[in-house]
Structure 1
Amino acid sequence: MKKRGIGIGCMMYGCGNTGLPNPAGAFVDIMDDGTVRVLTGCADIGQGSTTALAQIAAQEIGVPFEDVIVLAGDTGKSPDAGASSASRQTYISGNAVQRAAREAKANIYAMASDMLGVPVEALEGENGIIRVRQQKSAQLLDCQETCQGSLGVNPAPQSDPKGTSVSFKEVVAKCRMNGIMSIGSGWFNPATTGLDPATGAGDPYGCYAFATQVAEVEVDVETGEVRVIQIVAAHDVGQIINPLQCEGQIEGGCGMGLGYALMEEFITDKGKVRTDSFNTYTIPTAMDVPLIHAMVVEDKEATGPFGAKGLGEPALIPTAAAIANAIYDAVGVRVRSLPISAEKLLTQIKEGGA
């Protein structure tokens, strides 16, 4: 006989080292052809930080993503960025890159200001074009409010007046003709305080990630076998930098959490490792990973780059708890050690009489 159950797991997680200095630095150099070089010590070990940092630089400067090259992981040539751990790199190195990009673009936008005859504050850049920021009249704003309130639609935007934009590469060329460089450096260290050794009080992280996951399982009460049917994973990530990477991170984390909950066990015997291969240390395969519904909650982090924060460990933290709670919901047995193997669960079921 098989029984189904649903369980919930929740978590909060601090991004960065706990109550310790946690800095990262970056250099940004805008080249003569308008492309951008980002130098960072941030090591991309598969989490996609190189892509995320390139996007942050491109957004801040106003150039196409394809025009940004990130030279990462070589601290002999670039500033240190700390370890790729603690869900910190998008948040901390992202801030460092954004600050370096802001400094690097300053001379470019100052030149564009002269060329267009408007203050720097009136300019915006996007996709390789620097333009005068469109100012909406009070009448247009009133119309927008009325339309949004009554019809649920926005009026068509006004077109830019002629002669109010210039290509980014054209401005860079003008800077070089006048001997003006465009290089920036930046660093970021989140404001934290250490934990009081007696009370544990303190402010150990610059920002926190939050998540809730719901798991549905099916338990065979005759064998103890558990099948995870689906997982719903809702994560507060601040502002999404890359939606596809974000979804992939959540799905991968759920897969790792499933292995932690049901399969993975590190066994030693008199100092010798007995689970020293994938034959004895079992991890989930594609056949074991269930349908995963990734849900992203965008609650911008005031101290993050464009409002972003970390999504590393948070993706897997609630999964095992949600699965364990779902098993309890299905068969009324509370297993308090991981992994919840079929043998362990079957023993508990027989002893509990469920």
Structure 2
Amino acid sequence: MKKIGVGYACMIYGTGYGNGFPDESRASAELTSDGKVTVFVEVTDVGQGAKNVMRQIASEVLDMRVEDIVIKNVNTSYMMDSGTAAASRQTYNTGNAVLNACKKLKEKMDEASIKDKEKVFKYMADNAISPREEGYFKANTTSVNLETGEGNPYWPYTFSTNKAVVQVDDERGKVDVLEITACHDSGKIINPLMAEGQIQGGAAMGIGYGIMEEVIFNKGTIKNQNFNDYIIPTSKDVPKVKTIFVEEIENSGPYGAKGIGEPSMIATAPAIINAIYDAVGVRIYDLPASPEKVLKALTSKREKHE
């Protein structure tokens, strides 16, 4: 018999490296002779749209079209360290460095009182004013005192609550995810379309983590070394993901933004596990909740009630 269950899970996630580890970002913004601004920033785009976010932040500060912002990010000979694409820190940390650099450049440009950016460049050149400014940001965290528990290990924090609706076949142990609703407080959303895509991708990863993906070892050797044996979700396994953003402004973030990368997937798997329990009354502690594990738990439950 197939049974429906609903589960919820909440999570809190600290942005950045945390615990007092130096979490610094640097960026430069330079007005060029064609009236555009080049932002030199070591922002690594691994599919999350970080380059676009940096362009949008610069565009907003400088009151320029996004098309007139050029991002240069791949050569360490002309840019400074912005930190890694990790810990969901790029929009918050590196975005703040870009914001800082562009604010300084905007102040210089405004002194010219000229709207045409190409003429602003000439004005700056004629008056020996550097068309380039540096930006810097360091996250405000401290290590935790292990005796008192006091400290500021992360800042800021991202929050989310996920709802999962599943269908469990109690004769085969198979779990199908029918619905995912993901509600996130990631501060101000800089790019809603990309953010929604990240949440959907995170939900897909959470489904894989929750019911499919498993590395199988045999005497130290991985048995399932390719995607024939290592099962990941396909488009048929991922339902429509409803995304809700609660835009609670983070005052220390660029235009109120916080991190969204890793938080996008964290609450999905536990929501699915809670939904399985709601459907058939068994709790799976060893992920993934594969058909074999669910069926084994159901069999054990039945035996206890016989």
TM-score, structure 2 normalization: 0.95
Partner of 1:95: 96
Partner of 2:195: 246
Matches within 5 A, 1:1-354: 1-19=1-19, 20-112=21-113, 166-353=115-302
Percent identity between matched residues is 43
Q: Distance in 2 between matches of 1:172 and 1:289?
A: 51
Q: How far is 1:177 from its partner?
A: 4.2
Q: Distance in 1 between matches of 2:2 and 2:73?
A: 51
Q: How far is 1:259 from its partner?
A: 0.2
Query: Which digits, 9 at most, give the CA deviation of each residue in 1:20-74, with x for residues without a partner?
Result: 1100100110111111111111211111111101111111111100111111143
Query: Unpaired segments of 5 or more residues in structure 2?
Result: none
Q: Distance in 1 between matches of 2:171 and 2:35?
A: 67
Q: State whether residues 226 and 342 of structure 1, in contact with CA within 8 Å, keep that contact through their aligned partners in structure 2.
A: yes
* Corresponding residue SS for 1:18: coil
Q: Distance in 1 between matches of 2:267 and 2:22?
A: 27
Query: Which digits, 9 at most, give the CA deviation of each residue in 1:66-117, with x for residues without a partner?
Result: 11111114333211011110000100000000001111122110111xx6xx
Q: How far is 1:231 from its partner?
A: 0.4
In the alignment, residue 8 of structure 1 is paired with which amino acid?
A: Y
Q: State whether residues 36 and 117 of structure 2, in contact with CA within 8 Å, keep that contact through their aligned partners in structure 1.
A: no
Q: Distance in 2 between matches of 1:254 and 1:199?
A: 37
Q: State whether residues 32 and 176 of structure 1, in contact with CA within 8 Å, keep that contact through their aligned partners in structure 2.
A: no
* Corresponding residue SS for 2:112: helix
Q: Distance in 2 between matches of 1:352 and 1:102?
A: 63
Q: State whether residues 27 and 39 of structure 1, in contact with CA within 8 Å, keep that contact through their aligned partners in structure 2.
A: yes
Q: State whether residues 141 and 153 of structure 2, in contact with CA within 8 Å, keep that contact through their aligned partners in structure 1.
A: yes
In the alignment, residue 282 of structure 1 is paired with which amino acid?
A: I
Aligned residues between the structures: 302
Q: How far is 1:174 from its partner?
A: 3.5
Q: State whether residues 265 and 339 of structure 1, in contact with CA within 8 Å, keep that contact through their aligned partners in structure 2.
A: yes
In the alignment, residue 218 of structure 2 is paired with which amino acid?
A: D
Q: Distance in 2 between matches of 1:238 and 1:282?
A: 34
Q: How far is 1:199 from its partner?
A: 4.6
Q: Distance in 1 between matches of 2:201 and 2:291?
A: 23
* Corresponding residue SS for 1:348: helix
* Corresponding residue SS for 1:316: helix
Q: How far is 1:287 from its partner?
A: 1.2
* Corresponding residue SS for 2:61: helix
Query: Which digits, 9 at most, give the CA deviation of each residue in 1:199-236, with x for residues without a partner?
Result: 54320112000000000000111111111001000001
